[in-house]
Amino acid sequence: FTQMDRTQQRLAQALVATGLSRTGFVTASTIMGIETTLDFIEGWKRADGGRDSRLYYLSIFGTPDSTSAWGWRFKGHHISLNYTIVNGQIVAPTPTFFGSNPAEAPLSDRHSLRPLASVEDLGRELMHALSEEQRAKVLLSPKAPLDIVSLNRPYLKEGMLPAFTPGLDEDVAVNYEFSTLDTLTKQRGMTMAELEAVRAGSVPKGLAGADMNQSQQEILRSLIGAYLHKMPEELAELEFKQLEARGMGQLHFAWAGGLERRQGHYYRIQGPRFLVEYDNTQNDANHIHSVWRDPEDDFGANILAHHYAMAH
């Protein structure tokens, strides 16, 4: 945005709004604005001005029209939106990432600003709704990882860890993340066994939706909705229908860390063509990362391959 005049900025914002619901756009706008709050919390120490609500970037791939395949990305600190469009329709809206630091900022003695309150509170509500037996199956580790397991990896890989994973990450373009995570992991005293507990692959961990009672399933559905309903209504409904067609009962819920607010915690919802990850451990458990991904079709990779194959 720093390279655009105000007219161009507003046009870019209008494009971003087409990919989000009202709730989603307000969430994104709030996350962008909270960068100034983070700068204040950090004591204005970033000499590069890195905490700036204008440091968000719009990229367009291909030629936008109603008859071809193209896409756009909106990205900056704690926001990454990626859309693949074919014949005028959004066919792939993942990966979708929202984060917030701080996750909670006081507004008054009684009120606070929490851009991602729903994805935190509903996850915890589901944990508290489970029986002791169910919770034992859901809990991967009493200690949460320092970040989501998928990190910024462009593609999901079998056996991922929330750290550099030998044999998987040598060619990844996000290696800068690993040194920071390694330092934090050592500072927190996390063991390899604790990292191993949250390792992710194609086989989901945790408790299946089919093994939950109706009220628990309703909370799970609301939690998933907190992610999907950031999309335009028509797209969110389509994604829900696809989840139902694949079987909501196949979705697994897993958790690591504490059960109360301001205790570091992590959760994952995983099933066919669906992965949600959430982590809130950094900055005294006041720093959220959350992502929704399609393990088989992030960035519309398979859809685009099929589209181009049919065209040639």
Tens place of pLDDT per residue across the chain (312 aa): 989 999 999 999 999 999 999 999 999 999 999 999 999 999 998 877 779 999 999 999 999 999 889 999 999 999 999 999 999 999 999 999 999 999 999 998 889 999 999 999 999 999 999 999 999 999 999 999 999 999 989 889 899 998 888 888 877 666 667 777 787 778 788 888 999 999 999 999 999 999 999 999 999 999 999 999 999 999 999 999 999 999 999 999 999 999 999 999 999 999 999 999 999 999 999 999 999 999 999 999 887 665 555 555
pLDDT value of residue 181: 77
Same domain, 33 and 134: no
pLDDT value of residue 310: 55
DSSP character at residue 179: H
Query: How far are the Cα atoms of 24, 80, 84, 92, 237 from residue 89, in angstroms, in the given order?
Result: 19, 20, 8, 9, 14
Please enumerate in sequence order all residues whose Cβ is within 8 A of that of 113, keeping only pairs 6 or more positions apart, or say none: 30, 34, 104, 105, 106, 107
Q: Is residue 80 a part of any domain in this protein?
A: yes
pLDDT value of residue 17: 98
Q: Is residue 1 a part of any domain in this protein?
A: no
Same domain, 146 and 217: yes
Contact assessment for residue 34 and residue 105, using Cβ atoms and an 8 Å cutoff:
yes
pLDDT value of residue 174: 63
Same domain, 212 and 276: yes
Please, is 78 exposed, middle or buried when counting C-beta atoms within 10 Å of its C-beta (0-12, 13-18, 19+)? buried
Within the chain, what is the greatest distance between any pair of CA atoms? 63
Same domain, 130 and 266: yes
pTM: 0.94
Q: Is residue 181 a part of any domain in this protein?
A: yes
Helices (H), the chain: 6-18, 22-41, 117-129, 132-138, 176-187, 192-197, 214-228, 233-246, 282-285, 301-311
pLDDT value of residue 141: 97
Q: Write out the two tokens for 11.
A: 């046009």
DSSP character at residue 60: E
Q: Is residue 53 a part of any domain in this protein?
A: yes
Same domain, 126 and 270: yes
Same domain, 73 and 213: no
Query: How far are the Cα atoms of 24, 86, 222, 249 from residue 135, in angstroms, in the given order?
Result: 31, 42, 19, 17
Same domain, 197 and 239: yes
Q: Is residue 303 a part of any domain in this protein?
A: no
User: Phi, psi at residue 253, to the nearest 5°?
Assistant: -115, 130
Same domain, 125 and 272: yes
pLDDT value of residue 304: 60
Instruction: Give the chain's end-to-end CA distance (angstroms, integer).
Output: 37
pLDDT value of residue 134: 99
Q: For the chain, how many structural domains are there in total?
A: 2
- For 219, the domain range is 111-296
* Residue (of 212, 211, 225) closest to 276 by Cα position: 225
Distance CA 42, CA 51 (A): 10
Same domain, 151 and 88: no
pLDDT value of residue 309: 55
Same domain, 169 and 275: yes
Q: Is residue 102 a part of any domain in this protein?
A: no
Same domain, 164 and 265: yes
Distance CA 47, CA 99 (A): 23
DSSP character at residue 299: G
Q: Is residue 135 a part of any domain in this protein?
A: yes
Q: Is residue 99 a part of any domain in this protein?
A: no
